[in-house]
Amino acid sequence: MPAKAIRPHRIDGRKGVGPLIPPLTESQRPLRQQVFELVRAAGLIPRVQVAKDLDVSPATVTTISSELIEAGLIEEVAAPRDGEPGRGRPAVALGVRAAAHRVAGMKLSDREHTAVIVDFAGNLIADDAIPRQPGPMSLIEILDAIETLLTRVCAKAGIDRSALSAVGIGVPGFVDCAEGVALWSSVLADRSVPLAAAASARLGLPVTIDNDANLVALAELWFGAGRSLSDFAVVTIEHGVGMGFVMNHRIYRGAQRVGMELGHTKVQLDGALCRCGQRGCLEAYIADYALAREATTALNWGHKESQPINVLLESLYDHAKAGNATAKSIFRRAGRYLAVGLSNVVNLFDPSLIILSGERMRYDYLYAAETLDEMDNLTINTGRPRPPIEIHAWGDLLWAHGAAALALSAVTEAILTGQALRTAAE
């Protein structure tokens, strides 16, 4: 939730100056939470190193780590020795107790739903996927799909649903993570759907939801290239175009938690119709349905409209690779629009890294040298190099891992800040 506003104290009529910062901000987490997060990030770490990294006394770390061990959240592990085994007491490091909790993460998409179950240390236990017919679903239909998938992945993990501590769910569209509401999503027939509460009531478990692009950024932050970076952007190109942005090691969502919608920035006034209902969105020129629309029109492929989009796009890609000028121009045009979007990200945020992620990244025309050159031309000239770009053609399981990280965050923050994780059924 966003920090509560505080009012200045008025003494002798003085107004004061400077920012009004709440006593406990996101960057000033309780020390026990900082200790736990450092242990989780390190994997294994000695107490003395924790004290050094957090700039606190060894005695303080000993006290806090004892509390975390007693709570069953971390454990002492014999640390491996370098070289010959020494005499005396073996070295001991701290690590997360993997069996303390298990969570599930899900990605709901236009083509298939995927799920993973991970333990408290983030290790994968099981995964599964179920295909689906494209098109919006009613709330009842999507809850049925969620329950079916969770039952299947729990069976693969050999656990009962009740053994889970929380579930994280990612959906495309405009999602208020704090309120648990999908304001608009391509997978839902209705707007302003209280998906988190509805799924929690159906499953009997705490459920947290978020925009799926945020969850790809979260997956990179927890498991991938973003672990050591304080600021980076992930641009996803799939059935839609999304962006997750990490600022100071945290997902940035905006004041109303629905920001960073790169796919719905406008690149053409009164342009192509986007699935969000507006015109001229970046997504309407780059996403799979945009490429399919261009192909059926420019190549006179009206007879192929009944084909699944992925089949049509594979055919378009094959034609482009074979030298078909029209097919190549379709990808080239999409690449130019992508260059516009990426240059805007650089000009606005100056991230240390941009990651292009998603299944569409198989189509290398989208990020060919010409596209990157165009991006360089559109980026402001400061005399400094632009941020590096990495291509991560992950499948949907990465998105589900991000959803699992969302669930782990909810569980650990609730435990370490003394809050209660509640289900909608309670």
Q: Residues with catalytic annotation?
A: 212
Containing H/E element for 286? helix 283-286
Q: How far apart, in Å, are the Cα atoms of 253 and each of 52, 79, 116, 356?
A: 32, 39, 24, 19
Q: How far, in Å, CA of 25 to CA of 46, rounded?
A: 28
Q: What is the DSSP letter of 304?
A: G
∠327-328-329 over CA atoms, to 5°? 90
Strands (E) in 48-157, as ranges, are 74-78, 92-96, 102-108, 112-119, 124-131
Burial pattern 192-214, b for ≥16 Cβ within 10 A else e, equals: ebbbbbbbbbbbebbbbbbbbbb
Residue with tokens 């490429």: 291
Residues 6+ apart with CB under 8 A from 232: 217, 220, 225, 226, 245, 246, 351, 352, 353, 354, 355
Alpha carbons within 13 A on the beta-carbon side of 133:
3
Contact 343, 144 (CB under 8 A): no
Q: Which two tokens stand for residue 6?
A: 């505080």
